[in-house]
Amino acid sequence: MDISTTAKLTRVEQCRTNAKKRSQQKRQATLTALAQLQREKRTITKAAVARQAGVSLVFLRSHPDLVQAIEEAARARSALVSSSEGTIGVGLLCLPWFIGIRPGDRRAASALG
């Protein structure tokens, strides 16, 4: 092997090392973002976690364990919300739309009080 081949292998190895390091940083950022969304009791979706972590959805899809953690957290959050609010909460949220009040319709909103 000549010097240029050795240097090239070293650069390739360095690139692999850097890629692994970046991937680990993204994984950590994703788990931190998931924990933060849980603490703040915000809606948990893959898109919300990716946005909070500063990673792409493609990155998440390439890491099934992260997707599984997000989906489990989303299910737990959904169960918590539905058990604490009950079904009437959803009905009340939909009531303005159902009775014909659209966003920005001030006259109809003021008539409700």
Q: pLDDT (tens digit, 9 = 90+) per residue, 50-105?
A: 999 999 999 999 999 999 999 999 998 888 776 655 544 444 444 444 445 555 55
Whether 98 is in a domain gets the answer no
Whether 92 is in a domain gets the answer no
User: How far is 41 from 96, CA to CA, in rounded Å?
Assistant: 25
Average pLDDT of the segment spanning 8-30? 92
Q: What is the pLDDT of residue 77?
A: 82
Q: What is the pLDDT of residue 104?
A: 57
Average pLDDT of the segment spanning 100-112? 52
Whether 12 is in a domain gets the answer yes
End-to-end CA distance of the chain: 83
Contacts of residue 7, Cβ cutoff 8 Å, sequence gap at least 6: none
User: How far is 22 from 86, CA to CA, in rounded Å?
Assistant: 43
Whether 67 is in a domain gets the answer yes
Average pLDDT of the segment spanning 11-36? 95
- In contact, 78 and 43? CB cutoff 8 Å: no
Helix (H) or strand (E) holding 53: helix 46-53
The structure tokens listed for 98 are 């159902």
Whether 44 is in a domain gets the answer yes
User: How far is 28 from 48, CA to CA, in rounded Å?
Assistant: 16
Whether 100 is in a domain gets the answer no
Whether 94 is in a domain gets the answer no
Q: Look at residue 28 and tell me whether its pLDDT is greater than 60.
A: yes
The radius of gyration of the chain's CA atoms, rounded to the nearest angstrom, is 23
Number of domains composing the chain: 1
Percent pLDDT > 70 in the chain is 64
Whether 23 is in a domain gets the answer yes
Q: What is the pLDDT of residue 80?
A: 74
Residue 74 domain boundaries: 3-84
